[in-house]
Amino acid sequence: MFSCRFGIVGVVGALSMVASAQPPRPSDFNTTPRSLASGPVTTGFAKVPNPATQPVAARDSSLVSKVTGTEPQADLPALQVFEQTELIGAVGNEQILAGDVLPMVEQEIRRLMQKMPADQRQAVTSAELSSVRRNLMQRMLKPIIRNKLLYVDFLRDGAQNAGDQIDEQLKQINGRVDAEFEKSQVPHLMKSVKATSRAELEASLRSYGSSLKGQQQLFREQVMGMQMRQRYVTNNPEISLEQLLERYQENIEDYQVQPKVRWEQLTVMLDRYSSREEAYNDLVDMGNRVFFGASFSEMAKLRSQGLNAEEGGYHGWTNQGSLVSNVLDEALFTLPVDQLSPILEDQTGFHIVRILERTESSRVRFRDAQEQIKKDLQKEQQQKEWEGYLSRLQKEIPVWTVFDNTTRSAQKSPAVPATPR
């Protein structure tokens, strides 16, 4: 019966979803530079340009690009602003007005504008705003369309199974959903439009062509949609051992754990000295001081010129092959742990490193990976079921949106009476 499939118990469930070797001797720091790398040397520690020096034009400051990823096109006929009572979509006999979506659109625009610097905010044109509104409306219309599809199917199925009792069943269900709307959604709406009273909230919603009643209906459809998903998507799909093993073997490289190290570094940059010898001898002095007891971290903070000098030369877990400098990469994965390295040279300068901890290459065992594999396969199966269900609904229930017509400016879609729903 309808009461069993879509009764209060089911709605409650849907609502819950809403709301080591010896240390080096001092003689190791001699006057002849050495490198552990036999391969080509790269620019391991080149300076990073200061973002503040980059031209403003290089920054993505366009409000349109933040929403669409593209620059605004001033010649688009679609820049026309939607009227609040304009029909922008329909699912079966269920209509969607611009006012149903505009409150969410305007809230997102305010959020984006607040994140922009004042000068960029003031430079936003009306054409950009219109384009952003259209793109946001098109994006936010999609979940509303989906929820209405589910809601129409909810009503259709209910009519088939509940018969004459459908009105009473819907009354009970709507009562429970409406109570949750008052408890969780109304405070959220008031906060989003900065309303201090229910009357202010209603006035704000009406200024967009919507109303509390309209937002309440959208919330009903959202909850009913979640309940339909629970019905047609398996909650905990069964995954066989064969499926788990097959996925593990197909993606065996994904379970390979690369070697990694934690390390610290003293560096001198060649471009800061008048000669290589001067740079080299400066690092020799630092290395000898650390060798005879000075703190590596404090020495790095005081004199090192590496990128992590302010952090005491410390580098967190670093994967093999991830460094630009081949010299450093080879040293980190061949030298003994917890010992000062000989002086290393690459194109940027001279370095002394000390490896704090290193893990070797390994592979995640099947028994350790199978739980995550199971979760992944279950999500994939649920998504497949979900998409199949939606695809069926889209074939059975007619859907139209104003965005289906790219020449909207030539012929506007019909408007409906101005009374907010």
Q: Mean pLDDT, the chain, as a whole number? A: 79
Which residue bears the tokens 């300068």?
349
The whole-number average pLDDT for the span 56-67 is 44
How does DSSP assign 269-334, residue by residue? EGGGSSSHHHHHHHHHHHHHHHHTT--HHHHHHHH--STTGGGTTEEEEEETT-SS-HHHHHHHTT
Non-local (6+) Cβ contacts of 390 within 8 A are 146, 149
* Three-state SS at 195: coil
Q: Which 3 state secondary structure label does DSSP give 48?
A: coil
- Residue 209 has a pLDDT of 76
What is the C-alpha radius of gyration for the chain, rounded to an integer number of angstroms?
A: 32
Give dist(CA 402, CA 396) in Å, integer.
20
Average pLDDT for 294-321? 94
Q: Say how far apart CA 136 and CA 110 lie, in whole Å.
A: 12
Cα separation of 254 and 364, whole Å? 9
**pTM for this predicted structure:** 0.57
Share of the chain above pLDDT 70, in %: 75
Strand, helix or coil for residue 63 = helix
Interatomic CA distance for residues 320 and 11, integer angstroms: 52
For 401-416, the pLDDT digits (tens) are: 998 854 333 334 444 3
Question: Which has the minimum average pLDDT: 6-20, 26-40, 109-123?
Answer: 26-40
- The tokens for 108 are 């997102």
Question: Is 291 strand, coil or helix?
Answer: helix
The H or E element that residue 376 is part of is: helix 366-396
Enumerate domains of the chain plus CATH numbers. Answer: 26-47+259-360 (3.10.50.40), 57-238+379-410 (1.10.4030)
Instruction: Tell me the average pLDDT across 191-201.
Output: 90
Considering only residues 365 and 66, tell me which one the structure prediction assigns the higher pLDDT: 365
- pLDDT class for 44, splitting at 50, 70, 90? very low
Answer yes or no: is pLDDT of 417 > 60.
no
* Phi, psi angles (nearest 5°) of residue 322: -90, -15
User: Do 41 and 346 contact (CB within 8 A), yes or no?
Assistant: yes
Both tokens of 77, joined, read 């006929």
